[in-house]
Amino acid sequence: MSKSPRLTIEDLRAEIEGKEILKGLSLDIKGGEVHAIMGPNGTGKSTLASTLMGHPKYEVMGGSVTFNDEDLLEMAVDERARAGLFLAMQYPSEITGVTNADFLRSAINARREEGNEISLIRFIRQMEAKMKDLEMNPEFAHRYLNEGFSGGEKKRNEILQMMLLEPSLVILDEIDSGLDIDALRIVANGVNSLRSEDRAFLIITHYQRLLNYITPDFVHVMMQGRIVKSGGPELAQRLENEGYDWIKEELGIVDETVGQEEEEFQVPMNTKAPR
Ligand SMILES: Nc1ncnc2c1ncn2[C@@H]1O[C@H](COP(=O)(O)OP(=O)(O)OP(=O)(O)O)[C@@H](O)[C@H]1O
Ligand SMILES: [Mg+2]
């Protein structure tokens, strides 16, 4: 088996179209751990996910990210995927003309050595088994990727990809949004079935509800493009009960979003995510 993964983010700064969104974010994630990131809208959570995956729109301006002792920021997107990173996006793209099955098989083979591609029979067997686990209708294998999928169907399909790719660092951006109650349980079971010492999870969510199913080891709160508070599952519970105002008061934050250029209300610089 591969060795236990480790992601270390230090003082990461990233901008989009000249606007700084990530403003000194630090986070350390090890194999076997589940980290949840919560935070109000527009505080940079999806930007963090996209920056880690190497989305070309986001420009890294400072800080460092190492994954298994390698400089992640120096790696191309496909190299990051081959290294074991996986992102289930908040808004999965629709791709007309590429069937779900073709996409999944290409994604698996892209991570394998040339000459060691998965056989068609083996692939179909695996895909069908995972689709059954996720209670997906087999017809979804032959539909174009995400085209016309309902919100919940797209999310379930992201989890199907995760289960087939077996990544070592899984980033889930609002995987629970749009899922009905039964689908939430099914998706959480899929995630829990992959929890292991050689895999780590970064789960972005707005709701404690998901964390009732997937118990996180650490919960972090993002505001103003950085992590301003970290704790255990009880932190998510408190946010559910009390919202974010108490954190803003505690830290003297007036506007939690990343938008304010002139009147920047900086949080103290010593709020590094604890381990
Ligand atoms: N292409 C862009 N141009 C300008 N601003 C952008 C662009 N992409 C993102 N932003 C801004 O960056 C900020 C952070 O966005 P991001 O999507 O990371 O927030 P988020 O924390 O994921 O929010 P949510 O909880 O609503 O998903 C927002 O204010 C957003 O408008
Ligand atoms: Mg988002």
Taking only the tens place, the pLDDT of each residue in 91-148 is: 999 999 999 999 999 999 998 888 999 999 999 999 999 999 999 999 999 999 999 9
Q: What is the pLDDT of residues 206-235, one digit of tens each?
A: 999 999 999 999 999 999 999 999 999 999
> What's the pLDDT score for residue 2?
56
Using a 6 Å cutoff on CB, does residue 45 contact ligand 1? yes
Query: Whole-angstrom distance between the N-terminal and C-terminal Cα of the chain?
Result: 26
Pick the CATH number of 6-95+151-251 from 3.40.50.300, 3.60.150.10, 3.40.1710.10, 3.30.420.480: 3.40.50.300
Q: Would you list the domain boundaries of the chain?
A: 6-95+151-251
Q: Whose CA is nearest to atom 19 of ligand 1?
A: 42
> What's the pLDDT score for residue 263?
47
Burial of 4 (0-12, 13-18, 19+ CB in 10 A): middle
pTM of the model: 0.92
Which residues are within 5 Å of ligand 2 (an ion), measured at CB?
A: 45-46, 90
Å from CA of 221 to ligand 2 middle: 13
Q: For a ligand 1 pocket test, name from 12, 23, 25, 43 the mutation site with the most ligand atoms within 8 angstroms of its C-beta.
A: 43
Could you tell me if 38 and 219 are in contact, meaning their C-beta atoms sit under 8 angstroms apart? yes
Proportion of the chain above pLDDT 70, given as a percent: 93
The Cα–Cα gap between 270 and 275 comes to 14
The Cα–Cα gap between 88 and 268 comes to 31
Name residue 252's amino acid.
G
Ligand 1: nearest atom to the Cα of 222: 21
Residues in the chain: 275
Residue 131: which of 101, 88, 103 has the closest Cα?
A: 101
